[in-house]
Amino acid sequence: MLKSMTGFGRGEVLLPGKRITVEIRSVNHRYCEVVIRMPRTYSALEEKIRRAIQSRVARGRLEVLVNVVQEEGQETLVKVDKELGLAYYNSLRELGNFLQISAEISAEQLSRLPGVLVLQEEEVDLVEFWGGLETALDEAMQSLIGMRESEGMRLERDLIHRIDRIAQFINDISK
């Protein structure tokens, strides 16, 4: 059976407190190249994802997007790096004095500087998370493979039609 290299698949699963969505887009490529975009918190699972995909797909460039959304009611903790904020504050005041300009610095301005406010990473049970992610990944892969097969059937019908037309032209020319 002919299979197209282009396709799209989507899978989704709910875990306690979060929703995992996996989207896979496939385009033509000579080899099997898997590009994964996912939250850094779960990046330790990238190789498992890559192996799971490569066990089912031989060719194509596959872009995998893993999205994790916290359910409402889940607490997001923001940590303030007070030492870094103070260092920025002192440096900005020093710069203001050096340039002989007013250095009115607000907490809001400081909060916009890199690293002052940091989202606290949640403790993640990767084994539990992998169970949900694997389910969503499998659903996305089934959808992708189904799309590649149906596109392959359309390509096969088109090729057979074109071959038949060429054969007819050859037959007409030989008469």
What's the predicted TM-score (pTM) here? 0.68
Hey, where are the domains in the chain? 7-72+123-174, 78-119
Per-residue pLDDT at 79: 86
Secondary structure (DSSP) of the chain: ----S-EEEEEEEEETTEEEEEEEEEE--SSEEEEEE--GGGGGGHHHHHHHHHTT--SEEEEEEEEEEEPTT----EEE-HHHHHHHHHHHHHHHHHHT------HHHHHTSTTTEEEPPPP--HHHHHHHHHHHHHHHHHHHHHHHHHHHHHHHHHHHHHHHHHHHHHHHHH-
Residue 144 has pLDDT above 80, yes or no: yes
Query: What average pLDDT does the chain have?
Result: 89
pLDDT of residue 122: 67
Question: Does CATH number 2.70.170 belong to domain 7-72+123-174?
Answer: no
As a whole number of Å, the end-to-end CA separation of the chain is 35
> What pLDDT shows up at residue 14?
92
Query: What pLDDT is attached to residue 32?
Result: 92
> Which of the four pLDDT bands, split at 50, 70 and 90, describes residue 44?
very high
> Which band of pLDDT confidence, cut at 50, 70 and 90, is reported for residue 123?
confident
Residue pLDDT, tens place only, 58-111: 889 999 999 999 877 666 678 888 998 899 899 988 988 888 888 788 888 888
Query: How many percent of the chain have pLDDT more than 90?
Result: 53
pLDDT of residue 21: 97
